[in-house]
Chains A and B, each alone.
Chain A
Amino acid sequence: MAATISWERFRGAGAKLTTPLHPDDYLRLINPLWSQRELRGRIEEVRPETDDAATLVIRPGWGWRYDHKPGQYVGIGVQVDGRFQWRSYSVSSPPRRDGRTITITVRAMPEGKLSSHLVNGLAPGTIVRLALPEGDFVLPEPPPAKMLFLVGGSGVTPVMAMLRTLDRRARADSTAMPDVVMHYSSPTPERMIFRDELDRLEREHEHLTVHRLHTDTEGMLDLADLDHICPDWRERETYACGPAPMLDGITEHFEQAGLGEHLHLERFSLELGGDGGEGGTITFRTSGKSVEVDGATTVLEAGEEAGVGMPYGCRMGICHTCTLTLVSGTVRDLRNGEEFNQPNEQVQTCVTAAVGECTLDI
C-alpha cells in the first residue's frame, strides 16, 4: 500500500511539470498503455472461434484491475471512421490477480457494424478503450452446490468465465467442481462457440454435464423438457443468458414454478426502471442551447436532440464516457431513482433524466 501511495504522489509531482495536462498524456507517447486518463487496452490476438465469432485477447493498460467477477462484462470502445463506438461484452477469461490479459468473445451480428469490425477488422496491436467491469450476473462466493446454466448462442460468454473459474479452482485445490448442468442452444454445431473446450471440461469434471441443442435441426428448447434434461432443476440456482425471447420464456417458466428468486439473468440491453424524472428544461451552458424534455428522456438524448455534441459511450451507465458537470438543478438516475443535485456534480448523462430545470456544462 505504501508503494501505491508514493507512486501516486510521484505522479502528482509530475503533474506540476505537465500542467494543465497529466503526466500520462506524455507517457503514452512512449507506450500507449501508460495512461489512465481513459482506460486503454492493446489487442494482442484475435482468435477465431467459429466462422462469425472471435476471441479478442486484450492487454489492459494502467489503471486496470484484474479483479472482475466471473460473469461480468466490460465496455470496449473502438474508433471506426474516426469516431469511438462503444459496446459491452462479457469477459470470457477467469479473473486472475496476477493477470496480464483479459479476453472477450464477440459474435459478428448481421448489420452489426461494430461487432463485425471487432471480429474481422481488428489487427493485433490496435489500441482500444476499455471500461471497468460491471454487472450483477456473477458467480456467487462461495458458488452454490448445484447450478444450472441455460445458454443460447453468444450468451455462452459470461457462463464460460464462470466455468473456467470453477475449473481453475478445482484444479488448484484438487477438489471436485460443484454439480453443474449446462444447456447450450446454438443453431448449428459449427456456430457453437467454445465447443471443443466444453467437450474437454465435460470429460475432465464428472459433475459437469453439458446438453447441446442444435436449434436449426432440432428446434428450440421447450422448457417443459427441462424436467427430462435436468430433473432437479427446481433445486438449482439457475443462470440464463441468451436472446431476449429465450430469457422472457425462462423468466415466465420460473415464475410460474415460484422459483423467480433462484433465476439469474443477463440481458445485453439497458432496462431503465425507476420512476423516471419529472422532465423540465435542460440548458447546455457552453453551447447556449436548451431543450424541453419529459421525464423519460435521458439528458444524453436531450442533448443530442438539441444538437449539442454530447460525449457518449456504452449508453447504459457503465463506461462513464458521457459524464458531464451538472451546474445546477436536479437529475434522477433512471436505474434506481437516485437523485443528484449538488452544484458542479458529475453525472452520467446516459442514465439520468431531468427533474425540473437543470443546467449542464457543455
Chain B
Amino acid sequence: MAISDVQEYTHLTDEEVEQLGRELDAVRAEIEESRGDSDAAYINRLIRIQRYLAVAGRITLLVGTQGRRTRVPAAVAGATLLGLHKILENMEIGHNVMHGQWDWMNDPEIHSSNWEWDTAQPAEQWKHSHNYVHHQFTNVLGYDNDIGYGVLRMAREQKWSPANLGQPVYNALLATLFQWGVALHDLDIERIRKGEKDPKEMKRQLRQILRKGRNQVLKDYVVYPALAGKQWRTVLVANATSNLMRNLWSYMIIFCGHFPDGAMHFTEEEIEDETRAEWYLRQMLGSANFTGGPLLHVMSGNLGFQIEHHLFPDLPSNRYAEISVRVRELCEKYDLPYTTGPLHRQYGQALRTIMKLSLPNKMTSSDQPEPPTPSRDRKRKTDAERPPRRKELGGWMRSAS
C-alpha cells in the first residue's frame, strides 16, 4: 500500500506534525552550531587514510606482483586495499561531500561544488539525480527513480510486466556493474523509454559520462596494467576485483536504504502542498537503517543511518550516530515506526522483495507492516477522561448581555 497522506497514516494531528518538524529543526540547528575543529579533522583524516590506501594498493600491485613468490599475496592484498579505497571514497567521502555536508568548512578542496568522485558517474549528474530528485521526492512513485532504478520493480504499485520475470538476473547484473548502472542513472531510462527526454540534453550527458568513464577505465584497465609490464594481467584482474568489491558493497548498502520492509512508498497526492514537517515525516517513513559497529558505519558512508541522512542530508555524516539517538526518541514520542535491523536481515528483505515482485501481485503477499496504532496515552482523550469543563458562567456572559 502506498501512502497518499502521511498524516492520516501516522494518526498525527496537524499540530503534532508541525511540533515534530520544529523538534527536528532544533536538532539540526544544534548540530550546525556545534560543527567545528574535530569534525574538520575527521573528514581530513578520512581523506588522508583513503589516499594512503590508494597509494598502498597501487604500489603493492605494481611492485609486489613482480616476484614469483609474492605475486598472489600481493594481488590479493593490493585488490583489497584498492577496494577499500574505492569504497571509502565513494561512500563516506564522495557521496557525503557532494551532499554539501562539508561545505561549511569553506574549503574549495572539500566542497560539493567541485568534488569529483572516483566512479564513472560525473558528479554534476549525480548531484541532480541523487541530491535533488531522490532526496526531494524520496519514495514517491513516478518521481523517485531510485525505486528500482528504472530496471527493477520494487513496489507493488508499480505495474507488473512479463519482463519483470527477469528481475533476479537484472539484479545480479546491477550489483556486479553497479558503477555503470549509477553512471547512467541521471539519463533517466524511464523517460527515454517514454520519449520524454530532450535529445540535446541526453547527448550532452552521454558525452560527459563517456569522458569520465573513459578516464576511469583507462586508469584501471590500461595505464596501471601497462606499468606492471609482464604482470599486466595480474594487475588488471586485481583492479577489476577491486571495482567488483566496491560495486557489490555499495549496491548492498544502497539497497538497504529504502527497500527493507517498513520503508514506505508514497503517491503523488502526498507531495501536494507538503509542508517542511510533512517532508520530514515522509523521509522518516520512507527510509530504513541498519545496525552495526563504527567501522561498518564508516565503510557504508554512515548510510546505516539512512533515516537521519534523509532528514538532514547535508549535516556531517560523523554526527549521524548522535543524531539517531534523538530521532529515535522522537519516533517513540510520536508513535512513529523507526525501521532498523542487522545488515543481513535488511538486505535479505530487499532481496526477497526483488524476487517476489518479479511475479504478479496476485501470486505474492505484501510484507509491509501495518500502520502504527497510537498508543493509549497519546490517544485523544474522551470527554470522560478530561478534566470537567467549566460549568459556571463567567463574567463574559454578563457583559455580553
Q: Which residues of A contact B (CB under 8 A)?
A: 16-17, 19-21, 25-26, 29, 37-38, 79, 81-85, 285-288, 309, 311-313, 321, 324-325, 361-362
Contact = CB atoms under 8 A, between A and B. Distances in A.
Interface string B36-59: 111111000000100110110010
A81 B37 contact: yes
A309 B40 contact: no
Given A79-B40, A286-B131, A361 B219 contact: no
21 contacts: A20-B116, A20-B118, A20-B215, A29-B51, A37-B109, A38-B107, A79-B105, A82-B35, A82-B36, A82-B37, A82-B38, A82-B104, A83-B105, A84-B107, A85-B106, A286-B113, A287-B131, A288-B136, A309-B100, A309-B103, A311-B103
A328 to B, nearest CB: 13
Contacts of B104: 82-83, 309
Contacts of A38: 107-109
Contact of B224 (A17, A26, A324, A361): A17
Contacts of A362: 112-113
Nearest to B111: A311
Contacts of B37: 79, 81-82
Interface in B125-160: 127-128, 131-132, 136
Interface residues of B, number: 41
Interface in B50-79: 51-52, 54-55, 58
A26 B51 contact: yes
Contacts of A81: 36-37
Contacts of A82: 35-41, 104-105
Given A29-B51, A29-B52, A286 B128 contact: yes
B216 interface: yes
A324 B118 contact: no
Nearest to B43: A82
Contacts of A311: 103, 106, 108, 111, 113
B132 A286 contact: yes
B117 interface: yes
A59 to B, nearest CB: 20
Interface string B14-53: 0000000000000000000001111111000000100110
Nearest to A24: B109
A361 B113 contact: yes
B124 interface: yes
A84 B212 contact: no
Nearest to A322: B108
Contacts of A84: 105-107
Interface string B176-216: 00000000000000000000000000000000000010011
